[in-house]
Amino acid sequence: MGTRHKRLTALVVGVTAAVVLVFASNASAYVLEGPYWHGNPPPGTCCGNFTVQKPGGWYGSDEAMFNQAMSVWNNSAALVLFNVTPSSPLKIDDTNDSSAGWDGITYMNYVGNQFTSVTSVLNFSYTYAYSVAKGGSVGAHELGHAIGLGHVPASQCALMNPYTSTRWDTCGIAGPVTDDINGANHLY
Ligand SMILES: [Zn+2]
């Protein structure tokens, strides 16, 4: 009798936990970094317009990966547009650093919560082995940082998942999904 009662209690706890999880995943799960690009778009107009400066040269397919990254954002429901221009405080670049533990990184400078300059970087030491689509997923993730999005929990299938092994290999995320789009549209 006592054992049966314990099992019932455990079942109720389990159901409660499941309900909490459902609510958690339905909430706006995007995470904001804090700093973002103020005044973009100008009041009353649509869409953050982000000019992007490219470097003089690239390793392998890194440029194609960043082109793919801009494309998946531009073709999503996020109210943001990336365009390449000769000079911009938002830069993309790549490196070939075998000592680094990352395939992409974004360096951010800001005053208060206003970005002053941001550089998103791919690491050819990893991306040389990636398809353009997989590298594009990394680039799109870094561009998410570059406009002000932070990491969602490592268990969540979203562009802003911190790990390529989860984001791409497990979840198959190539570009912004609902949570990422909601985050971008909250800011711009
Ligand atoms: Zn990240």
Q: Which two tokens stand for residue 121?
A: 């970087």
pLDDT at 78: 97
For residue 42, report the distance from its CA to the centre of ligand 1, in Å. 27
Residue 101 and residue 158 in one domain: yes
Count up the domains in the chain and report the number: 2
Residue 62 and residue 10 in one domain: no
State pLDDT tens for residues 20-53.
344 444 455 899 999 999 989 888 888 999 999 9
For residue 84, report the distance from its CA to the centre of ligand 1, in Å. 22
Contact status, residue 133 vs residue 61, Cβ threshold 8 Å: no
pLDDT, averaged across the chain: 88
Note the pTM of the prediction, 2 decimals.
Answer: 0.85
**How many percent of the chain have pLDDT more than 70?**
85
State pLDDT tens for residues 128-156.
999 999 999 999 999 999 999 999 999 99
For residue 34, report the distance from its CA to the centre of ligand 1, in Å. 14
Residue 21 and residue 73 in one domain: no
Is the Cα dihedral 156, 159, 164, 167 positive or negative? positive
For residue 158, report the distance from its CA to the centre of ligand 1, in Å. 11
Residue 18 and residue 92 in one domain: no
For residue 145, report the distance from its CA to the centre of ligand 1, in Å. 7
Contact status, residue 181 vs residue 78, Cβ threshold 8 Å: yes
Residue 68 and residue 16 in one domain: no
For residue 151, report the distance from its CA to the centre of ligand 1, in Å. 6
pLDDT at 43: 81
Write the DSSP assignment of 150-166 as a string of letters: -PPPTTS-STT-S-HII
Q: Which domain holds residue 6?
A: 1-29
In this predicted structure, the answer to whether residue 87 has a pLDDT above a threshold of 50 is: yes
For residue 87, report the distance from its CA to the centre of ligand 1, in Å. 24
Local structure of residue 93 (DSSP, 8 states): E
Residue 112 and residue 173 in one domain: yes
In this predicted structure, the answer to whether residue 82 has a pLDDT above a threshold of 80 is: yes
